[in-house]
Amino acid sequence: MGVDRKDYVMFAVDINDKKIDFYDDGNEKYLPYIEGHSDVEFSIVDDCMSRRYCFFGKIIKSAEDYDGFDREPIDIDDYTINKIKNQIGEEYYQLFDECLDINIIKLYCFTKWS
């Protein structure tokens, strides 16, 4: 049995406290966000193994397995950051039917093991 690794840089909000079973048969609306469908701009990335986090937001950069990240800057100006946060807030409302304070959206860098 192997372990897969994926690294992320992501503007997101941690929705772990929602305790949603995204894989329940009644929750199909979440699958495009979890499975990374090409027509969905936002993602849900959860730590299925230990449930330490469950992020909803926009992936800025990711790296598979042991590729890691190349040494390169991620240049994002304030206008773009605010635009991304507003987009996340709008999509969050559509998906979860509640308003999100976009000030709690942060930039996360993390590794998902599965």
Average pLDDT over residues 11-22: 87
Which one of 38-42, 104-108, 110-114 scores highest in mean pLDDT?
104-108
Dihedral sign for Cα atoms in the order 80, 81, 85, 91 = positive
Q: Give residue 90's pLDDT.
A: 97
Tell me which residue of 58, 44, 46, 113 sits closest to 87, measured CA to CA.
58
**Residue whose entry in the numeric block shows the structure tokens 């598979």:** 64
pLDDT for the residue numbered 36: 81
pTM for this predicted structure: 0.87
- The Cα–Cα gap between 92 and 109 comes to 20
The pLDDT value given to residue 25: 67
Interacting residues of 48 by C-beta distance below 8 A, sequence separation 6+: 114
pLDDT(33) > 60: yes
| Mean pLDDT of the 74-83 span | 89
Q: How confident is the model at residue 4 (pLDDT cuts 50, 70, 90)?
A: confident
Report the distance separating Cα 99 and Cα 94, nearest Å: 9
